[in-house]
Every structure is written in C-alpha cells, then in structure tokens.
Structure 1
Amino acid sequence: MPAGGRPTVRSRRLGGALRKYREAAKLDQQHAADHIVGSKAKISRIESGQVTARPGDVRLLLELYGVEDPEVYRQLEQLARDSNKRGWWVNYPWALEPEYADYVTLESDATYIRTWQPLYMPGLLQTDGYIQALLEAGVKAPTSEAVERATAGRRERRKAIEQDGARYAAVVWEPVITAPMPSVQVHRDQLLHLLNVAQRRNVTLQVLPLSEWQAAHRASHFVMFSFGAEPAPEAVAFDSTTSTVFVEDLEDMAKHAEIFEELRSAALTPTQTLSFLREQIASLTDSEREAE
C-alpha cells in the first residue's frame, strides 16, 4: 500500500497509465488479473492508486496490453519502484500535508514544467526576500522560524530547475515584474535573479505585456507537469484560497496546454523578455539613486 495508507500522486499516475493501456487494448480487469495471477480487485486497486504494482507486474501487464515502446516500460517500472520513495520534504514536518507532498512530488519528478502566473512570481523563481515579503503580507505576521522554514523549503524546491534539471517555461503578466514591491532592494534582487535564471539552457521566461488583457484573462493561473520525453501534460495544479487543486482529466489538461501556447504566442519572446528585465533593473537602480 502507498505510504500513509492513501494513494500517492505517483501510485495514481502509475495506475492511470496502466488503465489507459488496458482500455486501449480492449481488455477487462479480469484479463489483467489472470495474467499476473492476481484478483480483479487487485487490478482495480492498482488502477485507482490504492496499491502500487510491483515492477514485474507492470512489465507483465504492459506485455499483455501490447505496449512495445521501451521508454514506456522504463518510465512505468521506475514509477513503480519510486511510488513509496521518500523525498527531501520528509525532513520538513510542516510540508507533509497531503496536497503539498503531492505537489512537490510532481515538481521533483517532472521532466517539463510550464506555468502561467498573472499575479505572483512563479514559486520556483522566487527569491528568499520575495518569499519573506509574501509571508509578511499575510493576515498573521510570520515568526522568524516560519520564514526560515519557508525559504529553506523553497531552496530545496528550486533544485528541480537548476542547470540541466527539468525543462521549465514560465509566462508572467507584466505587473508581476513592474508592480512595486515592499522595497526596491527586494524588487531589484528578484529581477536580477530572474535575469540570471532565464539564461539557463533549460529555462524559458516570457513576459506577457500589460496590453494583452484578453490573453491574460484566459485562465487565472496554473502549473502543468510532464514526466517523459513528450511535452503532453500529465497533471495540472492550481491554488485556491485554502488548498491546491489537481487536474488529471485528459480534456482539461489539453485545454490548459492550448491556453499556455496562446499565452506564449502573445508574450514577448525570451530575448525580448531579457531586454525588458534589464530595462526594469536599470529603472529601479536610477530611482534608488534619485531617492538618496
């Protein structure tokens, strides 16, 4: 059974993939159960993520379903091995809420992350100063310990897109960049960080101009995750006021992918975005000199 007695995001991904291949092969759960000398109930629990299939069973099922792509075998067998794998976040008890753990698991497993953010700096691009400013803007003033926990956790999460990490593409609306922040220092440090990260080989950053109002209102915000060589999204997440919502419906994911491509088309190119960031940094520096 997945750790904690509940489906994990990895066990759900594995089960969903196996169900997809079984249905494509037009076989029922009893066929699958007979092939691995198990029960129909076991196949049902595997496909729902309630239990994790063993790598050997995964291989047998894929053979039964007529899957020939060796990359599919590799990915799903690895997913079976990793379903109960403990990540860095187990050392942060405050980060073990199920939804947070699921989100960070998706983030750490992904080969391609795409995000649209019209209001906040994307999480994986936030500096420590920006995170602290967000916390201080909350209803309850954070303790120094809470700030340190949050920034330490975010530093761990940022490793997902460090050089040669997951491919990462972010589109942010212009006010995220230009709107005043609590201090010029926080603002400039954040933009300098963006400028640096945006020049990594695996990162693409684009700013959507303020004038592109219609494109900016196609969706509030979201993060898409892909896990293989193909860019097709396999999970979408977005925050509500009190929780994180995960979307795994194929039609919904395809719609989010379509919206993201529309946003990218309407946004400044990556090269134009770098120039835009440099202009904003220079403007902040000039304004700070004038204030002295």
Structure 2
Amino acid sequence: MQLCRCDCPSACPSGTIRRVRSQVLPPRQPSPSRLDGRPNQAHQILGRQLRLLRESRGMSAAGAGLGIAASKSKISRIECGQIGVAETDLHRMLEMYAVTEPHQREALLRFVRELSQPQWWHDDRTVLGGSLCSYLILESLAQHIRTYEVRFVPGLLQTPAYAEAVIRLRYTDTTEIDRRVRVRMQRQKEILRGRTPRLWALVDKAALSEAFPGEKVMREQIEFLRQVSWLPSVSLQVLPSGAGGRRGIGNSFSILRQTITNLSDVVYIEHIGDPLFLDTTAASDPYRQAMEELALEAGKPADTMAELDDALARLGKP
C-alpha cells in the first residue's frame, strides 16, 4: 500500500491509502453508488487509466489542468472517478498524452460516452445499485467475457424462469425481482446478438444436475444451453462437479477483457454485500490463471452437447 498520488479529497479508488489532514476520520457513510446507482467503479477505472496515461508522459496534474483550461483539482477528481470527463476535455487529454492510435482513442471515447449517456438500464439504476451498473458498462465495452459460476448456470445464459428462481433466493419484493429478471434478459440479448464480445462460460456439472427450480424450468434451461452452444460467439464448457471447490475457488467471478491496450483485465467477484472489482494486473492475474486451470479440467467445448444431452436424459421425459 502507498499514499495516493492524486491529492483527491476523499478515498482514492486505486487501492492506495488516502491522504488525511486530521488524525480523526469522519464516520463511514453509505456508499453513494448504493443510493443513486452512480457507476462509481467504472468512473474510477477510467480515471486510473487517464492518470496512467498522464504519468507516462511525465506530466503533472497541474500541467494537464492547464491543457484543458481547468484546475489541478479537477484533474485529480476526474482521475479519482469523483466526476466525469467531458468528451471535449478527453480529446484534449488524448492529444496531450500522445494517444494517437485510432482504435485506442475510440475505445476511450466510447468509455466516456457509456458513462455520460443514459443506458438501457437507466430507469432501474437505483434498484441495481452502482456496482452492478458499473459492471454493465464494463461488460458492454468488453472484447471477451469469461465467467465461472459456482453453483448455478451463469447469469448471461439463464432463461427467464431460471433467472427468476435464482433471484428469488436473495430478494423477496416482487417488483424488484421482475426488474432484475428483465435487466438480466436484456443483458443476455445485448451480449448474444452479435459476434462480439465473445463469451466463454464454465458451467459446473452440479448446476445441470440440481433441478431446484423444478424439472420443467431445468429442462427449458438445458434446452436453451443447447441452442446457444452453437453460437460462434459462445464457448461453453462443463466442469466436473466440485472442481472449483477442490481448487479453493469459492466465489463466482467474471473476467472482462477490455479494448483499451494498457487496461488490465477487470475481474468482478460477486459477494452478498458490495461486489469486488479488481483492475490491476497483480490483482486480476490469479483469477485469470484460475480460469485457465478450470478450463483445462473442464470438458472440451466439442463435448458440451453430449453433457447437455445426458443432463436432459437424467431429467426424464416431460
């Protein structure tokens, strides 16, 4: 851990210790992202990338501020994710930081647009919370999505009935459940309708064996997996039951490969409380390695259809 280098007035999201002017810290307040649905983590990840670009040019925050006719404080707040960055300011920053490769410039501009413009989930943001809203933005920007689910079929591959059964395990309000199911189905539509991003999903065989939503729902779910496994943008592998546990992997997680060259894979780990985002190479590499090890233990994608057929056979005839 080290002291924050960006002089931000509140907690810096870069995994560093914040600077404090007093020995006494104020009482911890509820996370704003949980109150207003602001995608704070996504803002922070963009801000860190802009800071790295600035530092790569040996430029101070004050110097960058002069370049966009702003103060050092504004640059610091942008880099800490406390405020957004306007497209006009981003264009100037990219010129100052000598980012000339068109693909990289467009990737950063798209990131800013995703953060500044209302998205399809905008009306549900206060129900979803800022962490999930951040994930939805990062998911929409990803080149590749790799996902591992400990017990259930991965969320992006769930049917509406299966998704509702899973969501009901945690939530009780009917309206909230309906909204969360609707968002999950729209996520699926956004991801599966094109060739990018590519989705690589590892399904625990136990998830195909447990008919907790009921046999009818499970049969429908397995049939859907059979359909999507043919999509060119989807790679689906079935893990032996308990493979993750034997390797000490107790949480579901997803790995998002971004189009921005210098940005590490972003690992998203689900918890009962706030989910965890890991966006540095040191933090995300163990999960990338774990995913690759699980993939080696799983059946090949070419064998997935046989696994799904076996799962259907075990359910018996409808």
Q: TM-score, normalised by structure 2?
A: 0.78
162 and 220 in structure 1: CA distance in 2 versus 1, 3 angstrom threshold: same
Give the structure with the larger helix fraction: 1
Residue 52 of structure 1: aligned partner: 84
- Counterpart amino acid of residue 270 in structure 1: P
Instruction: Give the distance between the partners of 2:204 and 2:166, measured in 1 at CA.
Output: 18
**Conserved 8 A contact 2:256-2:265:** yes
Q: Say if 2:166 is the partner of 1:134.
A: yes
Residue 116 of structure 1: aligned partner: 148
Shift, 1:80, TM fit: 2.5
121 and 6 in structure 1: CA distance in 2 versus 1, 3 angstrom threshold: closer
Partner secondary structure for residue 224 of structure 1: strand
Shift, 1:39, TM fit: 1.8
* Matching residue within 307, 310, 314 for 1:276: 307
Instruction: Give the distance between the partners of 2:314 and 2:42, measured in 1 at CA.
Output: 45
**Conserved 8 A contact 2:107-2:260:** no
* Matching residue within 192, 201, 225 for 1:170: 201
**Conserved 8 A contact 1:30-1:39:** yes
154 and 73 in structure 1: CA distance in 2 versus 1, 3 angstrom threshold: same
**Conserved 8 A contact 2:147-2:200:** yes
216 and 129 in structure 1: CA distance in 2 versus 1, 3 angstrom threshold: farther
**Conserved 8 A contact 2:39-2:133:** no
Shift, 1:126, TM fit: 1.2
229 and 265 in structure 1: CA distance in 2 versus 1, 3 angstrom threshold: farther
Instruction: Give the distance between the partners of 1:161 and 1:268, measured in 2 at CA.
Output: 24
Question: Which stretch shifts more, 51-60 or 68-77?
Answer: 51-60
Question: Which stretch shifts more, 195-204 or 83-92?
Answer: 83-92
- Counterpart amino acid of residue 297 in structure 2: A
Residue 235 of structure 2: aligned partner: 204
Instruction: Give the distance between the partners of 2:137 and 2:241, measured in 1 at CA.
Output: 33
Instruction: Give the distance between the partners of 1:142 and 1:34, measured in 2 at CA.
Output: 50
Residue 118 of structure 2: aligned partner: 86
Shift, 1:184, TM fit: 1.3
* Matching residue within 73, 88, 103 for 1:41: 73
Residue 225 of structure 2: aligned partner: 194
Which runs of no fewer than 5 residues in structure 1 stay unpaired?
Answer: none
241 and 76 in structure 1: CA distance in 2 versus 1, 3 angstrom threshold: same
CA RMSD of aligned residues (A): 2.8
Instruction: Give the distance between the partners of 2:253 and 2:95, measured in 1 at CA.
Output: 36
Residue 156 of structure 1: aligned partner: 186
Partner secondary structure for residue 111 of structure 1: strand
Shift, 1:136, TM fit: 4.5
Residue 281 of structure 2: aligned partner: 250
**Conserved 8 A contact 1:219-1:259:** no
203 and 280 in structure 1: CA distance in 2 versus 1, 3 angstrom threshold: same
Question: Which stretch shifts more, 223-232 or 255-264?
Answer: 223-232
- Counterpart amino acid of residue 309 in structure 2: R
Partner secondary structure for residue 241 of structure 1: coil
Which runs of no fewer than 5 residues in structure 2 stay unpaired?
Answer: 1-32
94 and 29 in structure 1: CA distance in 2 versus 1, 3 angstrom threshold: closer
Shift, 1:49, TM fit: 1.6
Shift, 1:193, TM fit: 0.9
Q: TM-score, normalised by structure 1?
A: 0.85
Shift, 1:236, TM fit: 1.6
Instruction: Give the distance between the partners of 2:99 and 2:125, measured in 1 at CA.
Output: 40
